[in-house]
């Protein structure tokens, strides 16, 4: 059973039946239905929904299986380093993303059908923090191509693009108009969420690869012309982000103490902020607005956050909302601003509000509910757009840059784009853009055809690569002799199909009865309460220990990939399914089938917890 009777009665996520179930189904009837299929098992690799939900396309199942000890690293590599290398294949910032990513991967996790999602972020932070402690570096062994790419913007997208390009052997020059690299990581998020010691280390680790030049305090389109960039480099990546905040669309919003959320946070992070406000009001409801009011509380101001939407519909992460409430932030939801109230000196002294209803995603005021929030600083965190001054030819009319499926800029040969300037979204989305952008530039520089991206466009586990790594690679194929009966030959990978680039495996393909109720191991936090928030700028998240990281990673159900539970071996009535020899074993090659014994009963497929077995070989 997936849960004890106590869990069934007390755990809200447990469901005995699905919607529309109207007939009692016996597990025995499902499994023991004899030889009607006329098919034998094959092993099919699919993508788990955590990876399918990850905008940067990380092989999440892969590094969770490494941490838990299912996938073994080569003899000369530790578990921590092997997990670090698998994680950073897609995303070079595990320490940062383990702290600040809102984790859409956890929303997609199939474990939610048993009790609660796997704490993916917490294990990722463990990998990233361990990498810093151990001094792991990135592989820079790729031969240099002689090509040089201009990357405009040194934030998450620009740095990730430089990293991926260097792995392919291409040099780059990063132009950024700040004094330091980091972009949104450093200037848009307060340091207690992205601790600078870890952030600076992860940035420096990219630069240490070599072949990456940095030009700071340099604005392309102003200090350097767009034409010179085009002439001096083999390709250009625009990764300039969106750092122009939208003002509140109400009367009298133009006042010296009405600022955008991005300007507020950048001033704070640069140390330029002159703290005089006693009551800060932030209009928003997303993560940026949470950062604004949390910073205001740490600086000693009263802070109010207003949102058009009800609290449970705000776009900010739920745990960020709860942290803000603990810190003493006043959250007013379901309300809309009407007018900024000015004093005699032209400065804002209040914000007129009213209750509202959302109709077709637009707020409609509720008459008779008007009121005023007295304040001396109003911050707008209702959206951002790009600053394209000097780069007007790239502007699509909305303050953004258009991109095609390969992240090329239409109408601009050799120009590519990544990050928020394409569409403001998550940090992990910008990093995912950068990876695809680097692939496209590699094709462009090599005069290769641009091939359609796969349906499931993420970084996948590769059984052929694993076999090579484990010294189990197939023999070289030759055309000598009769090529029939390849099951006895060693020049092919038998009984395996890779559908990971086409399919995401859903929970209904798993045998959920295998998994016992196991409570998620949560990280401790360091969130101050109202009395202790003043001047509290310490890291808010306490990392997992190695033992805790292994324990939490072990909750991963390894959807779409064998995790060596032995169910298929134990339950096969014909002893047709067997473990491969120890010297032939590796990830994805733990069991095999003797087809002379198999009767097609498909018990193995029914009891496979991970959905790795399909009854797919034989008559149709």
Q: Name residues whose C-beta falls within 8 Å of residue 21's C-beta, 6 or more positions apart in sequence.
A: none
Query: For strand 591-593 and strand 330-333, is the pairing parallel, antiparallel, or unpaired?
Result: unpaired
Q: pTM of this prediction? A: 0.92
CATH 1.10.150.120 is the classification of domain 148-243+386-445: no
The pLDDT assigned to 482 comes to 62
pLDDT tens sequence across 33-54: 555 556 889 999 999 999 999 9
User: Cβ distance 543 to 125 under 8 Å?
Assistant: yes
The pLDDT assigned to 274 comes to 75
Return phi, psi of residue 213, to 5°. -95, 150
Distance in angstroms (rounded) separating the CA atoms of residues 321 and 301: 18
Distance in angstroms (rounded) separating the CA atoms of residues 166 and 141: 9
The pLDDT assigned to 481 comes to 64
Exposed, middle or buried: residue 459 (CB in 10 Å: 0-12, 13-18, 19+)?
buried
Give the pair of three-digit tokens for residue 604: 């193995």
In which residue ranges of the chain is pLDDT below 70?
1-38, 479-488, 618-620
Q: Which residue from 287, 463, 258 is spatially nearest to 378, judged by alpha carbons?
A: 258
Q: Which residue from 566, 562, 569, 609 is spatially nearest to 114, judged by alpha carbons?
A: 609
Q: Which residue from 165, 170, 195 is spatially nearest to 182, judged by alpha carbons?
A: 195
The pLDDT assigned to 484 comes to 63
**Beta-strand runs (E) in 535-601:** 577-579, 591-593
Distance in angstroms (rounded) separating the CA atoms of residues 478 and 486: 12
CATH of 246-385 among 3.50.50.60, 3.90.1150.10, 3.40.50.261, 3.40.50.1220: 3.50.50.60
The pLDDT assigned to 601 comes to 87
Which helix (H) or strand (E) segment holds residue 439: the answer is helix 427-445
Domain 148-243+386-445 and domain 246-385, same fold? Reply is yes
Q: Which residue from 187, 176, 185 is spatially nearest to 239, judged by alpha carbons?
A: 176
Q: Name residues whose C-beta falls within 8 Å of residue 338's C-beta, 6 or more positions apart in sequence.
A: 250, 251, 352, 353, 354, 365, 370
Q: Which residue from 93, 261, 112 is spatially nearest to 181, judged by alpha carbons?
A: 93
Q: Which residue from 8, 191, 159, 171 is spatially nearest to 88, judged by alpha carbons?
A: 159
pLDDT tens sequence across 482-541: 666 566 677 888 889 999 999 999 999 999 999 999 999 999 999 999 999 999 999 999
Which helix (H) or strand (E) segment holds residue 280: the answer is strand 279-284
Tell me which residue has tokens 């409430």. Answer: 325
The alpha-helical segments, DSSP class H, found in 470-602 are 546-553, 567-571
User: Cβ distance 90 to 435 under 8 Å?
Assistant: yes
Which helix (H) or strand (E) segment holds residue 10: the answer is helix 5-10
State whether the Cα torsion 106-109-112-117 is positive or negative.
negative
The pLDDT assigned to 620 comes to 43
Q: Where are the domains of the chain?
A: 148-243+386-445, 246-385
Distance in angstroms (rounded) separating the CA atoms of residues 308 and 266: 25
In DSSP terms, which residues pair with 305 in a beta bridge? 282, 331
Helix/strand/coil percent split, the chain, to 5: 30, 20, 50
User: Cβ distance 435 to 58 under 8 Å?
Assistant: no
Give the pair of three-digit tokens for residue 205: 């680790």
User: Cβ distance 143 to 130 under 8 Å?
Assistant: no
What is the chain's alpha carbon radius of gyration, rounded to the nearest angstrom? 27
The pLDDT assigned to 67 comes to 98
The pLDDT assigned to 336 comes to 97
pLDDT tens sequence across 64-123: 999 999 999 999 999 999 999 999 999 999 999 999 999 999 999 999 999 999 999 999
């Amino acid at each position: 059973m997936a849960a004890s009777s106590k869990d069934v009665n007390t755990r809200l996520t447990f469901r005995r039946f699905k919607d529309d179930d109207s007939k009692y189904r016996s597990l025995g009837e499902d499994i023991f239905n004899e030889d009607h299929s006329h098919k034998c098992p094959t092993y099919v690799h699919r993508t788990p929904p955590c990876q399918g939900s990850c905008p940067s396309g990380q092989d999440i199942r892969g590094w969770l299986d490494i941490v838990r000890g299912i996938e073994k690293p080569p003899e000369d590599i530790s578990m921590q380093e092997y997990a670090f290398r698998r994680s950073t294949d897609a995303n070079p910032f595990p320490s940062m993303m383990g702290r600040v990513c809102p984790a859409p991967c956890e929303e997609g996790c199939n474990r939610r059908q048993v009790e609660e999602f796997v704490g993916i972020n917490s294990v990722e932070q463990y990998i990233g923090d361990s990498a810093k402690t151990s001094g792991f570096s990135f592989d820079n062994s790729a031969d240099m191509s002689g090509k040089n790419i201009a990357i405009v913007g040194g934030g998450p997208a620009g740095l990730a693009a430089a990293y991926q390009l260097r792995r392919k052997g291409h040099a780059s020059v990063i132009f950024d108009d700040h004094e330091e690299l980091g972009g949104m990581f450093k200037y848009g998020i307060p340091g207690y969420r992205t601790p600078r010691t870890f952030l600076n280390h992860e940035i420096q680790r990219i630069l240490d690869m070599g072949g990456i030049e940095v030009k700071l305090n340099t604005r392309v389109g102003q200090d350097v012309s767009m034409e010179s960039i085009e002439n001096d480099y083999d390709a250009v990546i625009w990764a300039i982000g969106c750092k122009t905040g939208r003002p509140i669309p109400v009367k009298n919003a133009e006042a010296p103490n009405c600022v955008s959320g991005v300007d507020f946070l950048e001033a704070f992070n640069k140390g330029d902020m002159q703290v005089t406000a006693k009551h800060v009001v932030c209009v928003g409801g997303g993560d940026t607005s949470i950062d604004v009011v949390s910073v205001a509380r740490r600086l000693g101001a009263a802070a109010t956050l207003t949102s058009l939407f009800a609290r449970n519909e705000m776009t900010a992460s739920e745990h960020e909302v709860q942290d803000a409430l603990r810190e003493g932030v006043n959250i007013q939801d379901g309300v809309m601003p009407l007018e900024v109230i000015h004093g005699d000196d032209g400065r804002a002294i209040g914000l007129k509000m009213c209750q509202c209803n959302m109709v077709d995603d637009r707020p409609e005021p509720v008459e008779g509910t008007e009121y005023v929030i007295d304040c001396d600083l109003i911050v707008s965190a209702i959206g951002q757009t790009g600053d394209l001054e000097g780069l007007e030819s790239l502007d699509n009319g909305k303050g953004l840059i258009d991109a095609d499926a390969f992240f090329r800029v239409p109408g601009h040969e050799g120009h590519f784009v990544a990050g928020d300037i394409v569409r403001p979204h998550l940090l992990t989305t910008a990093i995912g853009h950068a990876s695809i952008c680097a692939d496209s530039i590699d094709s462009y520089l090599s005069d290769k055809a641009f091939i359609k991206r796969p349906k499931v466009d993420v970084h996948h586990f590769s059984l052929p690569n694993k076999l090579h790594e484990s010294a189990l690679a197939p023999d070289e194929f030759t055309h000598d002799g009769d090529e029939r009966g390849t099951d006895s030959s060693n020049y092919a990978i038998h009984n395996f199909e890779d559908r990971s680039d086409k399919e995401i495996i859903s929970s209904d393909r798993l045998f959920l009865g295998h998994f016992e109720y196991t409570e998620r191991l949560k990280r401790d936090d360091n969130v101050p309460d109202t009395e202790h928030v003043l001047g509290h700028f310490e890291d808010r998240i306490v990392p997992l220990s190695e033992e805790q990281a292994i324990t939490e990673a072990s909750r991963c159900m390894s959807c779409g990939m064998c995790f060596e539970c032995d169910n298929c071996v134990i339950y096969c009535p014909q002893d047709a399914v067997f473990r491969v020899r120890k010297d032939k074993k590796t990830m994805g090659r733990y069991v095999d089938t003797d087809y002379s014994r198999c009767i097609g009963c498909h018990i193995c497929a029914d009891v496979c917890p991970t959905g790795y077995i399909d009854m797919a070989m034989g008559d149709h």
